[in-house]
Amino acid sequence: MKRYLLLLAIVSAGLIVLLPGCKKNDSSQSSSVALTKEVPENTAAGVLWSYPSRWTKGAPRQMRVVTYVIPAAQGDLETGECAVSYFGSGAGGDADMNIMRWSSQFEGSPTPVRKDDKVGGINVVKVQIAGNYLAPAGPMMEATGKKENFRLYGVIVEAPEGKLFFKFIGPAKTVEGAAAELDALIGSLTKK
């Protein structure tokens, strides 16, 4: 019996020592992104979200709820941009149409990587596209020049009042370096 109690004490002590170490390892593996709560005026489609604290808001632009500017990664010459758009209930087209349109904005229309997901009970479609970006602009979305080695991370949110679009575009290192921040923003989505 004494051996059993001694063994139990050793195992218990080992678990007590081990558990804090496990917690430390787990927390060090999960990245923590500081978020800033978006003001209700800059939310849309029946959802609220927070955005990464190191992102800044760009000037107001037509057809956008808000535009975030993401600092350039070391070595990149351009900043990234995350445009948030909402066109109204029932507007904006389906996910497949938007993914095809985003892909066509790249040289050769590369095959996008798509993932359907759910965040806080809200359906989202995530897409990644890489290649040479044709930088469409203007009312006819005409190419304004080729930008090599760009990435697009897009998220289409099936919000309560219609589709909400997050289009994060920029140089590869900048977008890849801020991917966890976009994930944190999308993870913060909640219904109003």
This model's pTM is above 0.85: no
Which has the closest alpha carbon to 103: 113, 95, 111? 111
Q: How many CB atoms lie within 10 A of CB 79?
A: 17
Each domain of the chain, given as residue ranges in start order, spans: 1-30, 33-191
Four-residue CA torsion sign, 102, 57, 173, 146:
positive
- One digit per residue, the tens of pLDDT, for the chain of length 192 reads 444 444 334 434 443 333 333 333 333 333 589 999 888 877 899 999 999 999 999 999 888 999 999 999 999 999 999 999 999 888 888 999 999 999 999 999 999 999 999 998 999 999 999 999 998 665 555 656 789 999 999 999 999 999 999 999 999 999 999 999 999 999 999 998
Residue 126's contacts (CB-CB under 8 Å, 6 or more residues apart) are: 114, 115, 116, 117, 153, 154, 155, 186
CATH of domain 33-191: 3.40.1000.10
Residue 80 near residue 147, CB atoms below 8 Å: no
CB 184: neighbour CB atoms within 10 A? 19
Instruction: Please spell the DSSP secondary structure of 93-117, one letter per residue.
Output: --HHHHHHHHHHTBTT-PPPEEEEE
